[in-house]
Amino acid sequence: MAFEGPLRTVPMTLYTEQLIVRGAIETRQHRVTDILNEADQPFLVLEEVSLEELGSGEVATRADYAQVNLASILFAVSLQAVEPIRELRTPKVSERALVSIPPFRVIGNVHLLPELSLRDAVGGPRMPFVPVTDAVFWSDRLGGGRQSAAMVAVNQARVQILAPYREVRATSDLEGWADGNGPGRSVAPTRLPGLPDDHGPRSPGSF
């Protein structure tokens, strides 16, 4: 069960297929994922909203408030990490993963119970919005470069592919190995076709 504290205003940045929606919501929930997963209605109502069309570069449209349907959200972005409540903390391990959620791709850490692997988790039930931490996201189709975030909450219903991700190791680092256990052979990453090498998270707003 999500922790409910005092009423507070939380900034939200939501990505749909066509828009970036920025605004704020009054909530008692502690984390962005709790706001999304514990919503009483199939939508959120944000205040002081700006609507920016993806890839347009035009000035954002502004509105006093806007309803955003949860089913239309590809993912939500949080630039600030939020520590879990100590009393509700569950020990977990993380695994680096890639997520294809067209037109975007996300690389980051998925957090699992110690007894589960990512393969187990992929085949089992999960919450509607799954947190991916220390994340990098981008769209080759829309351009604009890669952006980093403390957490990206992806809409599982809109995800096309979720798979483990490993960085490419330079062949020079493996020099001198003659067989499958030694140098001379690079390690093939698990990644989508056309996926650029992951150089790790960058500061918010950097590309």
Q: What is the pLDDT of residues 96-122, one digit of tens each?
A: 999 999 999 999 999 876 656 776 766
**Per-residue pLDDT at 126 exceeds 50:** yes
Residue at 154: amino acid letter: V
The reported pTM is 0.74
Digit-coded pLDDT (tens) for 5-52: 788 889 999 999 999 999 999 998 878 999 999 999 999 999 999 999
Task: Considering only the C-alpha atoms of the chain, give the largest distance between any 2 of them, rounded to a whole number of Å.
Answer: 65
Question: What does the pLDDT average to over 149-161?
Answer: 94
- The tally of CA atoms less than 13 A away on the side-chain side of residue 152 is 31
Round the CA-based radius of gyration of the chain to a whole number and report it: 19
For residue 202, pLDDT over 70 is answered with: no
Cβ(109)–Cβ(93) below 8 Å:
no
